[in-house]
């Protein structure tokens, strides 16, 4: 192995504090911490192209174990099956119960926060049309009733007065 190349770097106060904490926690040499950080940054530099807020939501939701990643075709298959099941009303009542439970978790949150959180689940893409109006663009019409029902229960549960209208592959939300 060749002799290592020496590089001098300068930290601002915040960066040095982070560096010092990492050094204490990881019990690695300064050089090893910088090498690992550089390798990590290089390997994940494409993350700069992503909305970091959404990435944080994904990490939080998945790491807590309360959410899963589900292929869209499976999702549509479940919804289509439910729609033809003789006990489908039991499912929709259970779905409303789950939505009311989520409402408890969303207490004190804004409609925008709630919609962005659900957007991160890939149920829809948000297009904000005005200060208090949103168009939720769905990938297909199959999940429309699921989303509408969920939003109605959540908004009612947190005390948000909202008008929710369905289009073919869109849901329009107007917050009063």
pLDDT beyond 70 at 93: yes
105-138 confidence digits (pLDDT tens)? 999 999 999 999 888 888 899 999 999 999 999 9
Helix, strand, coil percent content, the chain, rounded in steps of 5: 55, 10, 30
pLDDT given for residue 145 in this prediction = 92
Q: Tell me the three state secondary structure of residue 29.
A: coil
Tokens of 129: 């049309």
The CATH number given to 52-175 is 3.30.1360.40
**Distance in angstroms (rounded) separating the CA atoms of residues 137 and 134:** 9
pLDDT given for residue 1 in this prediction = 62
Tokens of 29: 């040499």
53 to 60, 113, 116: CA distances (angstroms): 11, 11, 10
- DSSP assignment string, 53-73: HHHHHHHHHHHTTS-----HH
pLDDT given for residue 72 in this prediction = 87
Give residue 40's pLDDT band: very low, low, confident or very high (50, 70, 90): confident
Residue partners of 141: CB distance under 8 A and separation at least 6: 168, 169
* pTM, to two decimals: 0.71
pLDDT given for residue 64 in this prediction = 80
Give residue 59's pLDDT band: very low, low, confident or very high (50, 70, 90): confident
* Domain range annotation of the chain: 13-49, 52-175
Tokens of 91: 């499912």
For the chain, what percent of residues have pLDDT higher than 70? Answer: 97
80-93 CB burial, b ≥16 within 10 A, e <16: eebeeeeeeeebee
């Amino acid at each position: 192995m060749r002799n290592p190349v020496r590089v001098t770097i300068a930290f601002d106060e915040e960066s040095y504090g982070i560096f010092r904490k990492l050094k204490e926690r990881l019990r690695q040499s300064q050089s090893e911490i910088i090498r690992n950080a550089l390798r990590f940054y290089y390997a994940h530099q494409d993350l700069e192209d992503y909305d970091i807020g959404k990435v944080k939501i994904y990490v939080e939701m998945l790491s807590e174990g309360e959410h899963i990643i589900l292929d869209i075709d499976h999702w549509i298959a479940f919804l289509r099956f439910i729609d033809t099941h003789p006990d489908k009303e039991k499912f929709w009542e259970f779905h409303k119960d789950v939505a009311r439970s989520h409402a408890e978790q969303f207490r004190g949150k804004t409609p925008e926060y709630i919609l962005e959180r659900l957007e991160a689940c890939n149920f829809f893409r948000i297009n904000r049309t005005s200060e208090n109006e949103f168009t939720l663009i769905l990938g297909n019409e199959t999940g429309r009733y699921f989303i509408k029902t969920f939003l109605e229960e959540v908004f009612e549960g947190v005390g948000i007065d909202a008008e929710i209208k369905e289009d073919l592959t869109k849901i329009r939300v107007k917050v009063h």
